[in-house]
Amino acid sequence: MIKTLVLLGATGDLAGRFLLPALAALRAAERLPDDFRVIAGAREDLDDPAFQCFVAERLERHAPHLPDAARADLIQTVRYRPTDVTDPASVSGLLSGIRQPVAVYLALPPSLYAPVVTALGAAGLPVGSRIALEKPFGESLDGALALNRLLTEVIGAAGEQAVFRVDHVLGLATVQNLLALRLSNRVLEPVWNGRHIEQIDILWEEDLGLEGRAGYFDRSGTLRDVVQNHMLQIMSLIAMDLPASLDEHALRDRKVDVLRAVRILSRDDVVARTRRARYGAGRLYDPTGGAGRVVSAYRDEGGVDAARGTETFAEVVLDLASERWAGTRFLLRAGKALRRRRKQVTVRFRPAEHPSARSAPANELRIGLDGPEDLALHLTGGAPLDPSCPAPVSFAAPPPAADLPAYGRVLLDVLSGGSTLSVRGDESEAAWRVMMPVLDAWSAGLVPLEEYPAGSAGPP
């Protein structure tokens, strides 16, 4: 296992909200070596004690449930150096004296990846090191292709094993459970195809607005931020043919097969099969029963350039050119400031062929991706032939207990050399090929930018 994590962008929101708490969780679970250390770099002019205070405050805010001893131990292992992450000399100074392999985590905006990777190449990394990059990987297909070429130049013979393209959704316990459901369930697999399944909805609906992320989100939008990565990854796991083994190469091969089977949308398809919208002023739902927080329209949020026309809601309907999924629609929908938080896969089965069942509501399997349910099977029972037949029934199961947060699993994979939770280079390029026609048509104004009130179900 790699024993040194170099954290670039260490004072940012990603590091403070997710990565540092995940490291503390790994320490609490005794999953890190005793001599593990964190070398942190960012532009702020801090010394070790000041940065350790920053870490303590973020852990108190975002990981108060973790043992005090684990948090204190992590705080003592961090060292900080002010760093210009795009300057080879500054990066070289951050890495000076390190001879063992390191994992360099780029907790930075995607626009900085190319100059930072270039700086790392010039500074030189110890043999056996890894570079981890957050999603979205590039900002377009051309950007992803260029970044993959740059990484190949920098890492040389180490190849894909030295690159970790992070999509933390793959580390969620519920998404891991989705994979287990496919691999171990002999009941579902025989009907997991277009003959029996009419539509699969993949939903990533949030009941929060920007929450201070305008600087990043307004340049990205929901399609780049969520659909191109999280949702296509989930679709790949849902739709893939089962790999012959759990070998990480076989698993990622099957996911790439799905992405390459997606029918690329024409401009007419984009107009007919996609929607984009942004939220207007409204009141967000309060799950405690309160009145809810009033929010401004997205275009009026601080840090937003309304002229960009950035979407906070995106919907795309896809289908696959494969024998397994002939006739099945895949609906991907994501949005912010909606009525409720709902992250799930809904599998809608075709009605039974018997005439009495054709007018009945579809049976559904709902798979929770981030709570509150893990699995929920809703059976309509069809139109009963006998009035004494029981009413429709539902079965639900709670989400699995998570031993580690999603980023804890990601970091463990990064440090241990695993790649199951990493997105392969050709996989990232295939995902961009699916979404580029949508982005191009939206940029050309072919699909109108609708508006919906914050706290509503979305555009009408």
Catalytic site residues?
230
For residue 255, the surrounding DSSP H or E stretch is helix 248-261
Indicate the SS3 state at residue 216: helix
Q: Which pairing describes strands 197-205 and 163-165: parallel, antiparallel, or unpaired?
A: unpaired
336 and 279 Cβ atoms separated by less than 8 Å: yes
Q: State how far the Cα of 227 lies from the Cα of 334, in Å rounded to an integer.
A: 7
Q: Which pairing describes strands 274-280 and 313-318: parallel, antiparallel, or unpaired?
A: antiparallel
Q: Which pairing describes strands 78-82 and 37-42: parallel, antiparallel, or unpaired?
A: parallel
225 and 214 Cβ atoms separated by less than 8 Å: no
167 C-beta neighbours (distance < 10 Å), count: 24
311 and 328 Cβ atoms separated by less than 8 Å: no
The number of helices, as runs of H, and strands, as runs of E, in the chain is 15, 17
Helix axes 425-443, 141-155, angle to 10 degrees: 150
Helix axes 141-155, 113-123, angle to 10 degrees: 10
Q: State how far the Cα of 447 lies from the Cα of 438, in Å rounded to an integer.
A: 9
